[in-house]
Amino acid sequence: MTKIGSTAAFVGLLFPASPANANEPPALATDAPASNASPAASTPATPAADEVTTDCVIGFAVWCFSRTSRAAVLPATKWRLEGNAGYKFSNLYYSREIKGCEAAGCTLDFQGPSFALGVFYNVKGNPHTDDYIDVGVAVSYMPIISEIVNNTSGFQSEYGYVEPGDGSLAYVPVRLALRRPSFLYLINSKYLVGEFGAGLAFPVASGAGQSFTGANGVKATLGGRLGVEFPVAEVFRAGLAGNWSVIWYGDLLDASFQASYGLHFAYLL
């Protein structure tokens, strides 16, 4: 009996008796009540996601005050051909030449038409949006003296003597330029014409203009264009822009700022 009792006790330890509801499946533990809501549906839109699907119409620095949808944005294009036809209205420089000409009884006309052309290649982003970078070559024509009249005796200039006779002086700046839809990374817009570059300005002179200040050789220059453009067709843009140049006509500190304003157009292909 002792052996039988010990054996029964050992079997009881290996196979304990089941409770009365042993046939019922155990309950599954849950951390939270079930929900039919989709996680994606309840995720709020983030500013980063909004920037991907919209373009900035007008912004300053890191802030954008108005946006438009990118739903109808065209595929990226690689080349941009653009031009500018404007007019230079005024001059703030060459005071010594003005005084010398007035003393000699002649007249200097600083106004005149100005033109610009550019060829750019897209290296980043989509030119139909507010996030792109184009690089290229920009060429312009900027009048300095469109006409010297009644110059019968010549006059003294800042760097020499202007010979008698009529004449003119202009520059043709040729620049390697960067184009993006912002001005100094401060003003941002998909409609902004923002171009900046550096290069050389070649003088184009006639008559007495060949002896005018700055006509004696090729000069260093910075410049670009600033304005707005709007789509007229799928790949054609038109608007208004200023074409500007800073030209070092003499010593390091002797530079003049020249600007013209007029029509702007661009073709993307």
* Residue 219 token pair: 């000069």
253, burial (CB in 10 Å: exposed 0-12, middle 13-18, buried 19+): exposed
Range of the domain at 153: 74-268
- DSSP label of 38: -
Q: What is the pLDDT of residue 35?
A: 44
CA distance 32 to 248: 74
23, burial (CB in 10 Å: exposed 0-12, middle 13-18, buried 19+): exposed
Q: What is the pLDDT of residues 89-139, one digit of tens each?
A: 988 899 999 999 999 999 999 999 999 999 999 999 999 899 999 999 999
133, part of any domain? yes
Q: What is the pLDDT of residues 259-268, one digit of tens each?
A: 999 999 999 9
Q: What is the pLDDT of residue 48?
A: 52
Mean pLDDT across 62-75: 86
Mean pLDDT across 149-167: 93
Q: What is the CATH number of the domain that holds 132?
A: 2.40.160
Q: What is the pLDDT of residue 50?
A: 55
Type of residue at 257:
F
CA distance 124 to 103: 55
Banded model confidence at residue 242, pLDDT cuts 50, 70, 90: very high
66, part of any domain? no
> Alpha-carbon dihedral of residues 170, 86, 93, 161, nearest 10 degrees?
20
8, part of any domain? no
pTM of the full predicted structure?
0.77
Q: What is the pLDDT of residue 232?
A: 92
- How many domains does one find in the chain? 1
194, part of any domain? yes
* Residue 238 token pair: 């038109």
CA distance 51 to 70: 10
CA 65 from centre of chain: 18
64, part of any domain? no
* Residue 107 token pair: 């007249």
Q: What is the pLDDT of residues 163-213, one digit of tens each?
A: 999 999 999 999 999 999 998 888 999 999 999 999 999 999 999 999 999
Please choose, from the candidates 137, 119, 122, 117, the residue with its C-alpha nearest in 3D space to the C-alpha of residue 75. 122
78, part of any domain? yes
- DSSP label of 181: S
**Paired residues of 228 in beta bridges:** 192, 240
114, part of any domain? yes
44, part of any domain? no
Q: Do 250 and 212 contact (CB within 8 A), yes or no?
A: no
Residue 71 has pLDDT above 80, yes or no: no
Q: What is the pLDDT of residues 2-40, one digit of tens each?
A: 444 444 444 444 444 444 444 444 444 444 444 444 444
